[in-house]
Structure 1
Amino acid sequence: MDIQQLYYFINIVECDYNLSLAAKKIHISQPALSQFISNFENEKDVQLFNRKQGRLNSLTRAGEMIYQYALQIVKQHEEMQEMVRVEGLKQKGTIRIGLPSLILRVYFSDYFPNLVLNNPNVHLEIIENGSNDLRKKLINGEIDIAILIEPTSLDTKNYEQHVIQIDEMVAFMDPNNPLAQKEKLEWPDLKGYPIATFNSTFMTNHLVTQKLEAH
């Protein structure tokens, strides 16, 4: 197995052998994950999983030993990757930070200029985008730090998270709008009203859409 396949194998076990859940978590198709298992077992002539009624049920003895090796190898690989990343940043003096434009203007307009002035040897590269796109860039290693809106759906085993701001969602409207008379809006109150929000690259869009669909 290469390192990517080791990740596949570990995720299958951590998802309690649910291929559908594991495939969704690691962003590949379920048939591709099934094919990976089949190819490995056939090529190596070793069975990784016990099966019950055609479904993966548990690890075989060989599967359990391979799983323990996989955990160690993946851990060492991640430590090596982090070391390479940090050393590269030290040599280049570059930190890539991604954050939504609105958050940059509201919360960090003074922070980053002062940070650069106080740390002249560090080069900051600011990437502005919506939370969804920034999340993808973080996973793909295109940025080092992402300022995201919850829920981030990031694996806490691989990413360290710090809460820097707790806020609320507010609706703005014309003072003559009937809803303006209400002290607090409920989601069903919005039915029938045209709504403007951020585009689909922003997490706010998805949060609002999900709430409206739910109600």
Structure 2
Amino acid sequence: MDIRHLQYFVEVAKHRSFSKAAEKLFVSQPTISKMVKNLEEEVGTDLLLRSTKRKLELTDAGQVVFRQGQAILQSLQSIANELDAIKNRKTGTIRLGIPPMTGARFFSKVISGFHQKYPGIHIKIIEDGSKSLEKELQQGELDLAVLALPVSLDAFDCIAIVNDDLQLLVHPSHPFSAHETVTLSDLRCESFILFREGFHLHEVIPAECRKAGFEPTVICESSQWDFISEMVAENFGIALLPGTICRLLDQDRVRAIPLIEPSIPWHLAISWQKDQYLSYASQEFIAYTCESLQVPRQPRSAKRAGAAVD
């Protein structure tokens, strides 16, 4: 079985589209169609159902080839990564997932310092919400990711790097702006500005509100903490953001008040797939991050890390 045929088919199956797969692989659509057809002839059965609605579906055989093909390609990539580490030691690429609100605060200096120490290692940064990054890490599309704890699977090893709590962010004219603390139940009549779907806090904040006895009124969602804080500064609504982020904001334009009863933790960990090969570059980045942020380097399983913040 030609590995290139398998790679092309897996990409088509992943995107359910010849055109998107061709774009991803930088080849023409006729080329990728021919490769998939060759693979179908080789295995002796159809792998894709091509409907008149132009939507591709996998046959039973296609599902088997897709599942096993992903495993084969990932194994080949692991071989290449190990050989690269052995031959070059200080070169490579790290696919690093970072939630937007952590990048500037925690990782700009880390990445800059790491690059000075290892100029031959390229870091490809993917910014997305923690929940989305968790899926990408599990699927092998990332080497490392910064995830909000607790994670939902026992598929990762983690090193905790940030321990923080959420704070209430309000406009200076808001009645709560003079309070030393607020409880979550105090916010039942407020209008919330949340992170969008795919972010850890998109799920956590409404869940905590329901535990406090009310359904939050959400008037806006965003993927950027600076946009959320600007909306609060315009007196559009309130927000709950990590204290670390709140301390970066202009206190003349917004007020940050500690949240109690309950406090809502915001704990982050640098994470990677459990029992998977970690490239030399990734191992060095983990070590450098722990050194820079002055945290212990002992990894914990996702289950243990999650239990620590429950």
Normalised by the length of structure 2, the TM-score is: 0.40
TM-aligned CA distance change 1:139 to 1:193, over 3 Å: same
Partner secondary structure for residue 147 of structure 2:
coil
Kindly provide the amino acid, as one letter, of the partner of residue 120 in structure 1: P
Partner Cα distance (2:145, 2:167) in 1: 24
Counterpart pick for 1:211 among 208, 215, 224 = 208
Q: 2:79 aligned to 60, 81, 84, which one?
A: 84
Note the residue ranges of structure 2 that are not aligned, 5 or more in a row: 1-71, 213-310
1:68-92 Cα deviation digits (max 9, x unpaired): xxxxxxxxx9xx7895374166377
CA offset digits 1:36-77 (Å, max 9, x no partner): xxxxxxxxxxxxxxxxxxxxxxxxxxxxxxxxxxxxxxxxx9
Cα distance between partner residues in 2 of 1:82 and 1:183: 54
Tell me by how many angstroms 1:208 deviates.
Answer: 0.5
Higher helix share: 1
- Could you say what secondary structure the match of 2:116 adopts? helix
Q: Does 1:135 align with 2:134?
A: yes
- Displacement of 1:175 in angstroms is 2.4
Go from structure 1 to structure 2 and tell me whether the alpha carbon gap of 1:89 and 1:153 turns closer, same or farther (over 3 Å shift): farther
1:124 is displaced (CA, Å) by: 1.1
* Letter aligned with residue 184 of structure 2: W
- 1:169 partnered with 2:171: no
Give the Cα–Cα distance (whole angstroms) in 1 for the partners of residues 111 and 83 of structure 2.
21
Change (3 A) 1:86 1:185: farther
* Structural mapping, 1:162-201, within 5 Å: 162-201=159-198
Corresponding position: 1:105 with 2:104: yes
Q: Does the CA contact (< 8 Å) of 1:89 and 1:95 recur in 2?
A: no
For residues 124-177 of structure 1, what are the alpha-carbon distances to aligned partners after superposition, in whole Å with 9 as ceiling and x for unaligned? 11111110110000010000111011121230xx32111001011011112232
Match of 1:114 in 2: 113
- Counterpart for residue 151 of structure 2: 152
CA separation of 1:101/1:88 partners in 2, compared to 1, >3 Å: closer, same or farther?
A: farther
User: For 2:80 and 2:153, how far apart are their aligned partners in 1?
Assistant: 19
Q: How far, CA to CA, are the matches of 1:161 and 1:82 in structure 2?
A: 22
Taking structure 1 as the reference length, the TM-score comes to: 0.57
- The one-letter code matched in structure 2 to 1:193 is E
- Residues 94 and 125 of structure 1 are in contact (CA less than 8 Å); yes or no, is this contact kept in structure 2? yes
Distance 1:153 1:184, change over 3 A: same
The 3-state SS of whatever aligns with 1:200 is coil
CA separation in 2, counterparts of 1:170 and 1:139? 31
2: CA distance, partners of 1:212 / 1:186: 11
Contact 1:101 1:129 in 2 (8 A): yes
Q: More displaced, 177-186 or 86-95?
A: 86-95
- Count of residue pairs brought into register by the alignment: 135
In structure 2, distance between residues paired with 1:130 and 1:110: 21
CA–CA distance in structure 2, aligned partners of residues 175 and 138 of structure 1: 40
Which is strand-richer, 1 or 2?
2
Secondary structure class of the residue paired with 1:137: helix
Q: Which has the higher contact order (CA 8 A, sep 6+)?
A: 2
> Given the superposition, is the C-alpha separation of residues 85 and 153 from structure 1 closer, same or farther in structure 2, using an over 3 Å criterion?
farther
Do the aligned residues in 2 keep the contact of 1:132 with 1:202 (CA within 8 Å)? yes
Identity of aligned residues (%): 27
Aligned CA RMSD, in angstroms, stands at 2.3
